[in-house]
Structure 1
Amino acid sequence: MLKSNILLLITAAIWGSAFVAQRVGMDYIGPFTYSGIRFLIGGLALIPIAMWIKHWQAKQLAKGVVRNHEPKEGGAGLIRASLICGVVLFAGVTLQQVAMVYTTAGKGGFITSLYIVLVPIMGLAFKQRAGAGVWLGAFIALVGLYLLSIKSDFTLSYGDFLMLIGAFFWAAHVLVIGWVAPKYDPVVLSILQFLICGVLSMGGAVIYETIVWADVMLAMDSILYAALMSTGVAYTLQVVAQQNAKASHAAIILSSEAMFAVLAGWLILDEVLTVRGLWGCAFIMTGMLISQLLPELRLRRLTNNVS
């Protein structure tokens, strides 16, 4: 359990610091170009990792560590699921990447992390129940968003607004993944959705941007960090860690991604949040934790009462 939690914490640190890489990349190339190259490299880099995971799972199955291992579906159904996931991912990624031109890595990390609260609320459309803890957490996170991003004239900056809309797409992506993942191999699904997102982003780059190879090379360090570390390494660590970690623990640990985004922005880009902004971050983090912890505590209490 401790090993899994440490791996999840490393995953959150990589994802959080990737906001800095995304921010730096915008100094040289457009958001579509950055996302296109990032996800094409990331998807291709996952192929050998997928082969290793398959080999590892086969060994675990042979040892009897994994039981009731059922083969996943493939074919046309997998392609359709990958297209849906890839399109939703493309929407979230595009909004996030464009927003990074106008906002800081730290604020981007915290606003994006609101998807953790939005998932159960948006799940109401799929007849998923949201308890009092979720609503309380959402309210506290909303107060945090106000402190972090709302100006004196009660408006959001352009970058923060795009990041907030993107959070809804990240929440939708979580819901879609939750719907299709049980049917298909999650690693293969990830590879295909990353490649689809990359192709769509490159299409946007061709239409809306001018791709200059020299500028791409200037941004290549930040692209490779986001593509290989955030996509390949972090994803692999998450898959391995969640074999043994509790889902509630995993969600809480991964939510620390936002704090790592602020820390990385401060250390690398000299980004500084105001006291008001720091309070906003604290409220958002509290709201996220409450939305995760209270439903879990209520479930445990009900289980204990039944037993």
Structure 2
Amino acid sequence: MPRLALLLTTLIWGATFPATKAVLEQIPPLSFLFLRFFLGAMLVGICLLLMARPLSCDRAVLRASAIATGWLFFGYVLQTVGLRYTSASNSAFITTLYVVFVPLILRRFGMRSWLATGVATAGLWCLVRPTAVLNLGDVLTLGCAMAFAAHIACLERFTREVDATSLFAWQMVAMSGLMLLAMLWEQPPLSAFVPTTVLFIGLAITGGLATLAFAIQMWAQQLIPAQQVALLFALEPAYAAWLAWYFLGESLDWQGWLGSMLILTGVIIGSLEPNRNEAERAVEASPAA
């Protein structure tokens, strides 16, 4: 069930790339990120009020939230700013390199894990085919991939140690505060906030649906090892390509189909259920944050 839920969330993550790319034609990146996370925090607050679900202010929860938020903040800032200087396909491919970075951070060097990672990465290259020329946007996005990998690794540990709901909510609140400061530093013009259709759709996808996807990730990471979560998220660009082919009639040549199949193969290899002892050793091997 948690693996299926994560597979469904990748559909939402895939939609955030073109949505963000379109919105950045109107509004500066840090200002958009503030609107996105402020909307997400408001929705989370309303849900918790309706559920009468109190938030924990325990020191362990706040510490875990601060560490996770730091990585999340750097990840989103580097990715969104990088999108202004690189293509959506390059951004999608480089961001998904967290598939490689997560097992490196967690020091998990099992043969099956690396086989799955290698197959999925080769598939990503065939599917997305990013340009070989490295630019500023690509460098920023590579930093984003490292930050997201660190965030995924942190969540594996923290969701097992503290209240996951409070951890999720405090991250949304902290991200809103940090992005507000970033927006004030960016000094956007008032014209950037004109309520256009593009802005509404972008916020609905990134502030609404993506917040739901993040909540599902928080729940699933209590049950699934971090490297498997990263591998499942590698299906994100494959989903985008398949949907564009089916609904929009966009072409998908043999390299695209080969890449898609390689990604799917890598996900299947990496998602095979380890035995109990392997799972316990994986969690124990996680580094202290």
Pairwise TM-score range, normalised by the shorter structure: 0.7 to 0.9
Match of 2:28 in 1: 30
Letter in 1 for 2:110: G
CA contact (8 A) 1:149 1:157 kept: no
Q: Say whether 1:210 aligns with 2:208.
A: no
What is the correspondence of 1:156-175 to structure 2 with a 5 Å cutoff?
156-175=134-153
Match of 1:198 in 2: 176
Aligned with 2:76 (options 85, 93, 100)? 93
What is the correspondence of 1:1-307 to structure 2 with a 5 Å cutoff?
1=1, 7-51=5-49, 74-124=57-107, 129-144=108-123, 147=126, 148-149=128-129, 151=131, 155-218=133-196, 219-231=199-211, 233-237=212-216, 242=220, 247=224, 251=229, 254-263=233-242, 279=258, 283-284=262-263, 286-293=265-272, 296=273, 299=275
CA contact (8 A) 2:76 2:144 kept: yes
CA 1:104–1:259 in structure 2 vs 1: closer, same or farther (change >3 Å)?
A: farther
CA contact (8 A) 2:86 2:137 kept: yes
CA contact (8 A) 1:8 1:253 kept: yes
Name the CA distance, whole Å, in 1 between partners of 2:250 and 2:171.
32
| 1:36-95 CA-partner distances (Å, limit 9, x unpaired) | 11112112211232355676xxxxxxxxxxxxxxxx974333222222111110100011
Which has the greater radius of gyration? 1
| 1:101-125 CA-partner distances (Å, limit 9, x unpaired) | 244445533432332332112112x
| 1:217-263 CA-partner distances (Å, limit 9, x unpaired) | 232331232111110x33455567x49x9737x84655433323335
Name the CA distance, whole Å, in 1 between partners of 2:8 and 2:80.
23
Name the CA distance, whole Å, in 1 between partners of 2:106 and 2:143.
17
Identity of aligned residues (%): 28
Letter in 2 for 1:230: A
CA contact (8 A) 2:79 2:144 kept: yes
- Larger RCO (alpha carbons 8 Å, 6+ apart): 1
CA 1:173–1:110 in structure 2 vs 1: closer, same or farther (change >3 Å)?
A: same
CA contact (8 A) 1:112 1:163 kept: yes
Runs of 5+ consecutive residues of structure 1 not aligned to the other structure: 56-71
Name the CA distance, whole Å, in 2 between partners of 1:239 and 1:81.
13
1:122 match: secondary structure: helix
CA contact (8 A) 2:27 2:192 kept: no
Match of 1:58 in 2: none
Name the CA distance, whole Å, in 1 between partners of 2:246 and 2:28.
24
CA contact (8 A) 2:164 2:218 kept: no
1:247 match: secondary structure: coil
Bigger mean CA deviation after superposition, 95-104 or 254-263: 254-263
The alpha carbon displacement at 1:27 in A equals 1.2
CA contact (8 A) 1:92 1:169 kept: yes
Name the CA distance, whole Å, in 2 between partners of 1:279 and 1:156.
25
The alpha carbon displacement at 1:170 in A equals 0.6
Letter in 2 for 1:140: V
TM-score (norm 1): 0.71
> What is the aligned residue count?
273
CA RMSD of aligned residues (A): 3.8
TM-score (norm 2): 0.75
The alpha carbon displacement at 1:184 in A equals 2.1
Name the CA distance, whole Å, in 1 between partners of 2:250 and 2:180.
30
